[in-house]
Structures are given as structure tokens and as C-alpha cells.
Amino acid sequence: MSDHIHILGICGTFMGGLALLARESGYTVTGSDRNIYPPMSTQLQDSGIPLTDGYEAAQLASVTGQIIVGNALSRGQPVIEAMLNGRLPYTSGPEWLGRHVLQDRWVLAVAGTHGKTSTASMLAWILEHAGLQPGFLIGGVPANFGLSARLGGGQYFVVEADEYDSAFFDKRSKFVHYRPKTVIINNLEYDHADIFPDLQAIETQFHHLVRCVPGEGCIVRGQGNAIDRVLARGCWTPVEPVQAANGVVGQSWCWRALSPNASKLEISSPEGEMALLEWSLIGEHNAANATAAIAAAAHAGVPMVEAVAGLQRFKGVRRRLELLGEPGGTAVYDDFAHHPTAIESTLSAMRESVSQGKLIAIIELRSNTMRLGEHADQLAKCAESADHALWCATTALNWDLEAAVSHSSQQEVLPDVDSTIDRAVALAGAGDTIVVMTNGSFGGLHGRLLSKLSERSQL
């Protein structure tokens, strides 16, 4: 088969990272997407990867090798029908990754509903700091590396292990293709309501992941009944629990916050070893993520004290509480949180960190789960730490968002991006903090909000 691969849906974080790995491996790579958009389009074009806008069948005329199909593609799209009618060779992104990149590597997979990107970034940086030159594929851009994927020079490979389905023809979760030796399961809640009918269906996919981990491997697990149920269905691998230090120290990896915003932590290993982590990140969720990353790195042979030293130089991940600017003295952060638990964790951490001024949350209902209203009864509670929460649905909803948050006088619903920006500017002043929370582009709200705040400051 030709060494040419053509990637459908190339601008997504996973598929774009896959393209960079394939290019680095020596493949000729082309691809297409419905919208060619930065920052991934910029990364790809800088790597010399030609991009086609749209999913028309004509793009296949020049394809001489295998087609990698992203899970955003479905039956009925012209390029998919032409691919099937032409009996062209195709596979999913996760399967291609497992066969061509992860084969013969020590795979460290980071799974769970929340914190995958942050924890995978921490783990990759710990291994890098230890001199192990890991490869990685992460659904975000760790600031220490400045890119989302690389092959690496050693045996270790860190992958963000998503439970979303692999492709229209393979409804298994992506992570079953990775065959990891080390697994982190941070947490497990109901999400992806567009493909999973309930939490039990997600637990089944995680059970499939557990079945693939070898006996000499390691499963680092967070707390929660859902993870308990997954492991109770069968586990053949040693399990290392991670928990706050109110548990039984000496039986698990533990952390204890020594500062209110959890930027100073005491970490302990099951053997009783202790280390102090002082870093720039905040929040109990990041404390748990860090401890899981340290535990996974220990399985790969990195001593805890060295892992902690690496995390003290960890710079975070883009779009994970990333400070975008402070026009007119108003701090504006970008955060990827899009599930009630993640929203609550982020805002709670910010509440501890913001000692003065108002905390204003701007939240887009963008994920399929949120737009379907699966967590409507949790919305008002998850934003309680903010002084003002502005909810914006950029697509039509078939349920009443206003009713879901109306009992809180500090929360309001805005009909579109323009009105949301105007309201935020009216509320915010010098010394205040705005956190924009979405897993998408939010119609360019971030840049437009910064511009309006800057214009106001110059009046």
C-alpha cells in the first residue's frame, strides 16, 4: 500500500495530532475538514500538510493510500459514499494509531470524564523532565511542549484516552485500540448523551479498556462508585488508588492541600514517602490530576521526588484556565469546562483564588450532552461559586434553560453571543475576573470580549 494517508476530519484535536504523528513517521499526509480553522489548521499547514475544505467526493481522486475516517463523518456525506462505493481502504483514527504508532510502545493512557488533557499533559512532562523523551497525543496543547503530539525518542507514549466512539463503522470507544500498560481512570460520570444512553453503557466501555490491560500493568484510579462497578466486573491488573489524604495513608497515593487554593500540596505514596509540591495551578481537581500523574509515572520508573520536581516546572495547558489578558484591569480566562462537575470544580478553585473583585462566569451550552439538557437540574448549582453566571446557548434548545437557572438571582440566560458580551462588559470592572467556559470557539466571544473591554478602558 502507498505511504500516502488522507484524513477526513483532520482539524479536530485528535485527528490533527494524528496527522502530525503520521507526517513525523514519514507518511505523505493530506486531509480535509468542513471548516479549516486555527489553531490546528496552522499547525498542519506549517508541517506541510495540504488541506481541502469540505467533504466532496472529488478529493479522493488523488488519494493513493489509506483513508483515515474521523468520528465526525457519517453515512450520506459525499466523500464517505464515494469511499465505500470505490471500495477504497479505510480505517479509524484510533485503530491507525494503535497499529502504526503504539505497537511495541509502553502506552500510558489517561481516561475519565474530566481532567484527561491536563493529567496527560502533566504525565508527559514528568516523563520528559525525567529524560525519557516520551511520545504523546493529547487533546490540547501543553505549554511546556507547545504542540499536541509528537513521536518522541523513547519507549514511552502518553495518550489521552477518550471514551467517545471511534468512527461511524466502529462504535467502540477509542481507547480500546490503544492496548495500554499503564492506565489512569480519573473519574467516571455520565457524558456524551448523543452516543451513550446511560452511565452503564459508558461503564461497559471502560470495562473493555480494563480487559486490555496486562497483568504486569497498572491501573491508577480515582474515587467513585462508577469506577468501583467497572473494576468489580473483572480486573486482572494491580490497582493504585488516588484519593485525598482523609483516606488511609499508606494504602494509596494521597494528597493533602496545604494552601486554600491547593497550589501547595503534600503528596504521599503507598510506601509512605512524602514530597511537597508547590506549583502555579489551583484547585482540588488539579491536585487529584497531579497525584494520578505521579502514580502513573512511578509505574514507569520515575521516583516520586523527581516527578514532583517536574510538576513544579509545569506551565499548564492552553484553554485550561488560561489567562488571555487583563484589559482595563479585568482578568479574562479561557477554560474548557463544559460539564457541570468540571464547571463547579473550576469556579470553586477560582473562588478560592480570587480574593477581591467579582467572579463572572460566561458558559456556553455547546456539548451534545449539555444541549440535550441531560444535566439541566445541575446547572444552577454548578455555577454557585460565581458572583454572576451568564448562560448562552448558541444553538436552539428544546428545553427551558431559563427555568433551569431562574431560581438563582445571580444567574441569567442570554440569547446570543453579542448580548452575552454586552452584559459581561456591563458587569465587569477593574479588579474583576471573567472565566469563559466552553469546549468550542463560542462564536469568537473571547477575542471580541477582550476588544470591548480594551476599548472601554481607553475612553
Question: Nearest Cα to 23, choosing from 44, 41, 9?
Answer: 44
What confidence tens digit (pLDDT) does each residue in 262-307 have?
889 999 999 989 999 998 888 888 889 999 999 999 999 999 999 9
The C-alpha cell that represents 373 in the structure block: 439538557
In angstroms, rounded to a whole number, what is the distance separating the alpha carbons of residues 347 and 262?
14
Question: Nearest Cα to 202, choosing from 190, 184, 212?
Answer: 190
Question: Nearest Cα to 397, choosing from 383, 422, 421, 379?
Answer: 379
The C-alpha cell that represents 257 in the structure block: 492541600
What is the residue extent of each domain of the chain?
A: 4-92, 102-311, 322-457
Q: Give CA 335 to chain center in angstroms.
A: 11
Query: Tell me, what's the pLDDT at 398?
Result: 81
Return the bridge partners of 317, or none: 142
Give phi and psi for 136, each to the nearest 5.
-160, 155
**In this structure, which topology does domain 4-92 adopt according to CATH?**
Rossmann fold (3.40.50)
- Non-local (6+) Cβ contacts of 358 within 8 A are 387, 388, 427, 428, 429, 432, 433
Percent helix, strand and coil across the chain, each rounded to 5? 35, 25, 40
Positions in the chain whose pLDDT score sits under 70: 1, 37-38, 246-250, 369, 459
CATH of domain 102-311: 3.40.1190.10
* 3-state DSSP assignment of residue 192: coil
Q: Torsion angle of alpha carbons 446, 338, 212, 202, nearest 10°?
A: -150
Tell me how crowded residue 439 is: count the other CB atoms within 10 A of its CB.
17
Number of H helices, E strands in the chain: 15, 23
Amino acid at 116: K
Return the bridge partners of 412, or none: 390
Alpha helices in 130-198 (DSSP H): none
**In this structure, which topology does domain 322-457 adopt according to CATH?**
Protein-Tyrosine Phosphatase; Chain A (3.90.190)
Alpha helices in 354-441 (DSSP H): 368-371, 379-382, 401-405, 417-427
Per-residue exposure over 256-269, b if at least 16 CB sit within 10 Å of its own CB, e if not:
bbeeebbbebebbb
Question: Nearest Cα to 269, choosing from 224, 211, 308?
Answer: 308
What Å distances lie between residue 425 and 90, 330, 420, CA to CA?
Answer: 49, 10, 9
